[in-house]
């Protein structure tokens, strides 16, 4: 079975919530909540809203709460909000203004 994913590139701007059952890759501007199985954002992305997924990799700017089993913040991440996760990894260079809580 092939891995399904949706990709939104930098020329896309979304006003409203995004709900994806599988994997979502964002390099665009989103004003609204994002929910998927896996979410990955890249350096050109800006999400103003909450992100919820099992696995989340942030490489762009986010302003909102992030909820997931595994959250990875890349060195290009600029995050403001509350993180709630089982596991968190942060690369050196990430810009953070966060509160975080680990759950089991």
How many whole angstroms separate alpha carbon 65 and alpha carbon 71? 12
What average pLDDT does the chain have?
96
- Residue 3: its pLDDT value, please? 77
**Which stretches of the chain score pLDDT less than 50?**
none
How many whole angstroms separate alpha carbon 54 and alpha carbon 62? 17
Q: What is the pTM of this model?
A: 0.95
How many whole angstroms separate alpha carbon 22 and alpha carbon 42? 18
- Residue 1: its pLDDT value, please? 58
């Amino acid at each position: 079975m092939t891995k399904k994913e949706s990709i939104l590139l930098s020329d896309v701007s979304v006003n409203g919530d995004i709900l994806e059952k599988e994997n979502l890759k964002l390099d665009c501007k989103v004003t609204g909540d994002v929910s998927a199985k896996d979410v990955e954002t890249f350096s050109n992305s800006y999400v103003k809203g909450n992100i919820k997924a099992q696995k989340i990799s942030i490489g762009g700017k986010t302003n909102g709460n992030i909820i997931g089993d595994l959250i990875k913040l890349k060195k290009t991440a600029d995050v403001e909000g509350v993180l709630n996760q089982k596991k968190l990894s942060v690369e050196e260079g990430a810009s953070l203004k966060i509160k975080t809580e680990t759950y089991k």
